Amino acid sequence: MEYAIFGNTGATVSRIGFGGAPAGLKNYLQPFDPDAPDDRRQILNAIDAALEAGINYFDTAPGYGGGKSEELLGDALKGLRDSVFLASKAGVCAPDELRRSVENSLRRLQTDRLDFLQIHGTSYTEEAVRTILQGGMLEQMIRLKEEGLVRYIGFTSEDNNAAVFEFIRSGQFDIMQICYNLCMQHPYDPNRPFGSMLEADKAGMGIAVMRTTSSGLFKRWMSLADPNNRFDYTRALIQFVLSNPYVDVALIGMRTADEVRENAAICDDTAGRFDLRDLFTYYR
Q: pLDDT tens digit string along 229-250?
A: 888 899 999 999 999 999 999 9
Task: Give pLDDT, residue 281.
Answer: 65
pLDDT tens digits, one per residue of 111-146: 999 999 999 988 899 999 999 999 999 999 999 999
Average pLDDT over the chain, rounded to whole? 93
Q: Within a 13 Å sphere around the CA of 247, how many CA atoms are in the beta-carbon half?
A: 30
Domain 3-268 has CATH 3.30.420.40: no
For residues 57 and 191, the model is more confident at 57
List the one residue out of 201, 216, 280 whose CA is nearest residue 247. Answer: 201
How large is the average pLDDT for residues 78-96? 93
Instruction: Indicate the DSSP class of residue 165.
Output: H
Instruction: Indicate the DSSP class of residue 283.
Output: G
Q: Kindly give the residue spans of alpha helices, DSSP state H, lying in the chain.
A: 21-24, 37-53, 68-76, 95-109, 126-133, 137-147, 162-170, 196-202, 217-225, 234-242, 257-268
178 in helix, strand or coil? Answer: strand
How large is the average pLDDT for residues 93-118? 96
Task: Give pLDDT, residue 79.
Answer: 87
List the one residue out of 101, 99, 106, 24 whose CA is nearest residue 68. Answer: 24
pLDDT tens digits, one per residue of 10-49: 999 999 999 999 888 887 878 888 888 988 999 999 999 9
Task: Give pLDDT, residue 251.
Answer: 97
Task: Give pLDDT, residue 210.
Answer: 95
Q: Exposed, middle or buried by CB within 10 Å (0-12, 13-18, 19+), for 282?
A: exposed
Task: Give pLDDT, residue 193.
Answer: 85
Cα 188 to Cα 186: distance, rounded to the nearest angstrom: 6
Task: Give pLDDT, residue 282.
Answer: 59
The CA distances from residue 125 to 149, 159, 198, in Å, are 28, 11, 22
Cα 40 to Cα 24: distance, rounded to the nearest angstrom: 9
Instruction: Indicate the DSSP class of residue 77.
Output: T
For the chain, give the number of residues: 284
pLDDT tens digits, one per residue of 245-263: 999 999 999 999 999 999 9
Cα 132 to Cα 119: distance, rounded to the nearest angstrom: 9
Task: Give pLDDT, residue 275.
Answer: 86
pLDDT tens digits, one per residue of 162-177: 999 999 999 999 999 9
Cα 281 to Cα 260: distance, rounded to the nearest angstrom: 34
Cα 30 to Cα 132: distance, rounded to the nearest angstrom: 34
The CA distances from residue 9 to 24, 98, 154, in Å, are 28, 22, 11
DSSP assignment string, 198-243: HHHHHTT-EEEEE-TTGGGHHHHHHHHH-TT-----HHHHHHHHHT
Residue 188's pLDDT band (boundaries 50, 70, 90)? very high
Cα 251 to Cα 16: distance, rounded to the nearest angstrom: 6
Task: Give pLDDT, residue 284.
Answer: 53
Instruction: Give the bridge partners for 16, in sequence order.
Output: 250
